[in-house]
Structure 1
């Protein structure tokens, strides 16, 4: 894998990447005023299409002067609220409403979106663990490289729309991505609070650097994430939060006029996932019975759930307990578990965020 070259752009005020050599092409002009909804194409040569390409939906809405926001959905193909809400925005918004530029990719992991799976059926990869990507790699790695090298460098804000997918149920939340700099962290918190979700959670994915949000942070963008319910379902309540949240971030950035619409329940809980100790993981192969409901306040030692062994009726179930005091932020959706499967994620209060984000 080759790494991008960093170049400095004085006009943008931060280091920018020079795109690595690649064969991705598109009829969408990032600099053309107005609304364009098309695709970018990643050449591929599978058995049934020797000189074909995978087309990924791409939209640009540009008008006047102002910042650029990149909005991405469909990072995982079984997460639906983000793609629905982003598609609605693209159909509804008039370029005259915009000051700056919106770059939108509503189904970035296109083959996974088509299949309704977390990972791509083409190469088995999780798009959100492939950054900074590789133009000489598989399809998923090439798409990540295009975002990393060609879209992040021309963007000021990055909004990454997620849900829990088929395997998790998550409290509908706006997600703070920890920044490597104090000023970047403050800006991320302020933008995430502007999203206006009822719950705000700082999640660092145990220090993972291969996610799209971590990669955007490294390039100095203001980064906002979301987790809208899950279970492989479409939650009407979470979808409404997502619709409002997208427009709130656009207003916060100054791309749309007006102030963010902050409803009374917004930012009611500001939390953080405090590292590996917050995860309840199965050590067994069996069937998971959750005991703690989503959003419940729990104490260390409380029963979290049980793992049952259906082929061994004489065997007692194994009891899982919560390792710390906290709030149940996420819980596993499927009953079947294997060793290593995540059953619960806990979060704790993060009062510093409110001070840092003001």
Structure 2
């Protein structure tokens, strides 16, 4: 397999100052034989300090992070930076343009295609460029997600907790500095090698993500919390100059999210009537909801119960559901707070 990326750019990542441009992803079509897909990129560099990669639009139907990074890059001056920021506000640009989770060009889900393929589809080439070119340049990578069209989350930072104590302490420091109302941790995530997280781990890059609302809408509360938290996070890692006017981080509620095998999935196809909402606490055996069948309205609904207790961290946004759709994700509060001693 070719190891050298076929993606090019007009950006000099080592030049001081502010540079705007594109990653150019080659894509030959009937309409454009020698064409390329533009992925917008901004680099802000000033002197010496850590390098940080900021990404949004990994999934194109997640909007808060895209706006967060667009506002950041338009408001920054080079003298505010001590090191380097590489900002990709719409990294899977075909998906972003279409407002879809996956690319309409190749069906690629960027966050399931790492470490990518230099000779692959456009989405695979984007993943390969991030893995092989950008991650080796940086010490930290912060990737801003929401629930997208199908899910809505409580406003939260999101972290797959490293098992190594020093890395875990560093990662929990990201959450505390960012200061979202909620922080969700996942322990022992399996099969993370196809995620951006997996590439960050292989490259020794500190990583944090978010879940800023969802339902393919715009959450004002989640966005404002992230907008206040991002400068704190960047100052915490040392890439923004200190500012006496920065407000202290509010406390964050920690939740340990249930493993993927314990998420609540639809067991039939129809219209889902949820019995609980985001943030509700439930007990094992509580009624989760019912699936109704408009095509057979006299059929009794499928009734679903919670197999475990916890707090509702995420719920399905569209009422229409099919077998295998995730309906709820639960978490147990308070388990991670003592881990940042």
Q: Distance in 2 between matches of 1:151 and 1:141?
A: 15
Q: Distance in 2 between matches of 1:339 and 1:218?
A: 35
Deviation at 1:68, TM superposition (A): 0.5
Q: Does 1:48 align with 2:31?
A: yes
Residue 357 of structure 1 corresponds to which residue in structure 2? 340
Residue 218 of structure 1 corresponds to which residue in structure 2? 202
| Partner-residue secondary structure (3-state), 2:97 | helix
Q: 1:174/1:286 Cα in 2 relative to 1: closer, same or farther (>3 Å)?
A: same
Q: 1:54/1:43 Cα in 2 relative to 1: closer, same or farther (>3 Å)?
A: same
Residue 247 of structure 2 corresponds to which residue in structure 1? 261
Q: Distance in 2 between matches of 1:102 and 1:225?
A: 17
Does the Cα contact within 8 Å between 2:5 and 2:128 map onto a contact in 1? no
Which region of structure 1 is more displaced relative to structure 2, 253-262 or 41-50?
253-262
Residue 8 of structure 2 corresponds to which residue in structure 1? 25
Deviation at 1:25, TM superposition (A): 1.0
Residue 272 of structure 2 corresponds to which residue in structure 1? 288
Deviation at 1:342, TM superposition (A): 0.2
2:232 to 240, 248, 269: 248
Residue 218 of structure 2 corresponds to which residue in structure 1? 234
Structure 1: segments with no counterpart, 5+ residues: 3-19
Q: Does 1:150 align with 2:133?
A: yes
Q: Distance in 1 between matches of 2:109 and 2:36?
A: 20
Q: RMSD value over aligned CA atoms? A: 1.6
Q: Does 1:63 align with 2:39?
A: no
Which region of structure 1 is more displaced relative to structure 2, 325-334 or 189-198?
189-198
Deviation at 1:183, TM superposition (A): 2.0
Deviations 1:222-271 (A, max 9, x none): 1111110011111111111121222121011011133763454x30x101
Residue 92 of structure 2 corresponds to which residue in structure 1? 109
Residue 257 of structure 2 corresponds to which residue in structure 1? 273
Structure 2: segments with no counterpart, 5+ residues: none
| Partner-residue secondary structure (3-state), 2:279 | coil
Q: Distance in 2 between matches of 1:144 and 1:288?
A: 35
Moved over 4 A (4+): none
TM score, norm. by length of structure 1: 0.91
Deviation at 1:290, TM superposition (A): 1.0
Q: Distance in 2 between matches of 1:204 and 1:60?
A: 33
TM score, norm. by length of structure 2: 0.95
Equivalences for residues 311-350 of structure 1 within 5 A: 311-350=295-334
Deviation at 1:170, TM superposition (A): 0.3
Q: Distance in 2 between matches of 1:357 and 1:224?
A: 15
Deviation at 1:186, TM superposition (A): 2.0
